[in-house]
Chain A
């Protein structure tokens, strides 16, 4: 293989693999906040998480009232581990997984995708949980 092909191939691989790159909650919060263009508010995230957004389910229907405890899936009854990184260090460590679940669950709870600000608020609130 000619050496000059290495860089484009490496860049292509990076682009393809990037969504699955490891992340941490603080970096994800920073990214959502930057995308939102304004600071996140944990209290607003707390209210958003518990509110009824006009659909059958709220966030708490499956995740439970406490992000330190977790919950059970409202229709399948599968147990769901806590969302707060303080209780479950695996949470918010894979950006592709985070985006996948925000996309799906916001569609269930709000019948639309969440805005960057809504994601930032919820994550900021989850990071305050102890």
Chain B
């Protein structure tokens, strides 16, 4: 595993991120070093330890189910790179 922890190409695909060959090579080298380092956590016995998702002692925050005003479509669309008919315009999703 030492030099080959991560398949950067595969992970970049999962993350919907196009990388150049050069970036792939560089990230692979740098992240392998980082991953070798973070494997130090394996030294710790954590079998009886609960995982902690966040630091706040809050769970299941509820509010009354009452409607509240939202942004509205005009404002929601303000920052979109492309809109059409008061909607977001997306690149073709289905094959023609």
Q: Do A and B come from one complex?
A: no
Q: Measuring CB to CB, which residues of chain A are less than 8 angstroms from any residue of chain B?
A: none
